[in-house]
Structure 1
Amino acid sequence: MNRSLVIALIATLVAVWYAAGIEDDAGDAAGLVAEPRTSRSTAGTTARTATAEQGSVIAVLPVRTAAEVGHDLFAAHSFLPPPPKVNVQAGPPPAPVAPPLPFRYQGRMTEGNTTIVFLAQGDRMLVARQGDLLNNQYRVESVSANAVTFMFEPLKQRQTLSIGNAK
């Protein structure tokens, strides 16, 4: 082996021996083994007295109970923000409301006492008279000079489509 490596090894062993406080070869080796603890209340005093008797340089920390710590150190923790609080209102839910009318007024035609209204729904053209059922949901209740009144059948709610004062 290298001579400087052997000297470093011997110096390390001497430093460890000095730090551990070993005074003779056989006497204090048994003092390094920890004694079993009997209870938490006497554990701190037993460790302190054993340290004082041995003359050890290493200080023994007092034993802290879970009540002294205040929280679980190993509990699961999330760094996500808490979910928003939902405002829960007591009471009945709001009554359902009919959707807006899907029809646009395109024109009308009068034959005798009957008025026919031409309505657009998307790309489709619909022809409607009073009493007709459109899309199985909207019944034409009345056709006047200014408005067409529909009944939304699933909820029995009236809706009006303004057609202006067309002549």
Structure 2
Amino acid sequence: MDAAEKKRKIIIGGTLIATLIAAALVEVDDEPEFHVPETLQSGRTAQDRTKRADPNAAAQLDVSKLGQRKFSPLAGELFMSTNWVPKRVVIDDPEEQAAKIAQATKVSAPLTPTAPPLQFKYAGKAIADNETWVFLSQSGENLITKIGGKINDTYRLDSINDNAITMTYLPLNIKQTLTINNQMAGTF
């Protein structure tokens, strides 16, 4: 056994002996003392004080005086199943039911479909052999069509004049107008 291990065992043994001596010298109190404020002490009856002084009083505890736990009726049942689907309202009056159905269909009636806004930019036009060709661009893609021609099977070019181009949105057969900015547009 080397010197460091011997020293460690002596320190641990000394600490153990000091702990045992301290535990033997400490007084053991069977009943802990509690400081009860005077306001609470004045509410006790003489009978309660005698029961406290009697060591067997704890064994004679009157359970009926403890009271029952009361639950709020607003809390509901703790373990009932939950359904997130709204409850159906039952209407007994047929006139009232008809009014509700009419109101529901009026609110849920689909809106009239509309054509999306035109995404074309006018780049110019050319007239050759009595036909007018129009140059358009859409999202960086250049398109060429003539009057009566289709663009992407979605639009048809109906007419062109100095201020506007008239097109028809084919899925809904709705006419739309694209205004021409004369400063940027040219004629070829």
TM-score range, shorter chain: 0.5 to 0.7
Name the counterpart of 2:70.
65
Selected match of 2:61 from 14, 32, 37: 32
CA distance in 2, matches of 1:141, 1:108: 14
SS of the counterpart of 1:63?
Answer: coil
Please list every run of 5 or more consecutive structure 2 residues that lacks an aligned counterpart in the other structure.
Answer: 1-19, 35-48, 80-103
* 1:14 Cα deviation after fit: 7.8
* 1:71 Cα deviation after fit: 3.5
Alpha-carbon spacing, 1:31–1:108, altered in 2? closer, same or farther (3 Å): same
Please list every run of 5 or more consecutive structure 1 residues that lacks an aligned counterpart in the other structure.
Answer: 35-46, 49-59, 77-87
Selected match of 2:54 from 15, 23, 26: 23
Alpha-carbon spacing, 1:121–1:33, altered in 2? closer, same or farther (3 Å): same
Instruction: Point out the structure with the larger helix share.
Output: 2
Alpha-carbon spacing, 1:145–1:19, altered in 2? closer, same or farther (3 Å): farther
Q: Residues 145 and 164 of structure 1 are in contact (CA less than 8 Å); yes or no, is this contact kept in structure 2?
A: no
After superposition, give the CA deviation of every residue in 1:104-136 in whole Å (9 maximum; x if it has no partner): 111111235321111112222211111111011
Tell me the TM-score normalized by structure 2. Answer: 0.50
Q: Look up the equivalent residue of 2:68 and give its one-letter code.
A: V
Alpha-carbon spacing, 1:13–1:123, altered in 2? closer, same or farther (3 Å): closer
CA distance in 2, matches of 1:159, 1:94: 19
Q: Look up the equivalent residue of 2:158 and give its one-letter code.
A: E
CA distance in 2, matches of 1:155, 1:29: 89
Q: CA RMSD in A?
A: 3.8
% identical aligned pairs: 28
Alpha-carbon spacing, 1:31–1:140, altered in 2? closer, same or farther (3 Å): same
CA distance in 1, matches of 2:167, 2:131: 17
Q: Look up the equivalent residue of 1:131 and give its one-letter code.
A: G
Greater RCO between the two (CA within 8 Å, min separation 6)?
Answer: 2
CA distance in 1, matches of 2:59, 2:115: 89
SS of the counterpart of 2:30?
Answer: helix
CA distance in 1, matches of 2:139, 2:32: 96
* 1:72 Cα deviation after fit: 2.6
Name the counterpart of 1:37.
none
* 1:90 Cα deviation after fit: 2.0
Q: Residues 133 and 139 of structure 1 are in contact (CA less than 8 Å); yes or no, is this contact kept in structure 2?
A: yes
CA distance in 1, matches of 2:25, 2:77: 47
Q: Does 1:139 align with 2:144?
A: no
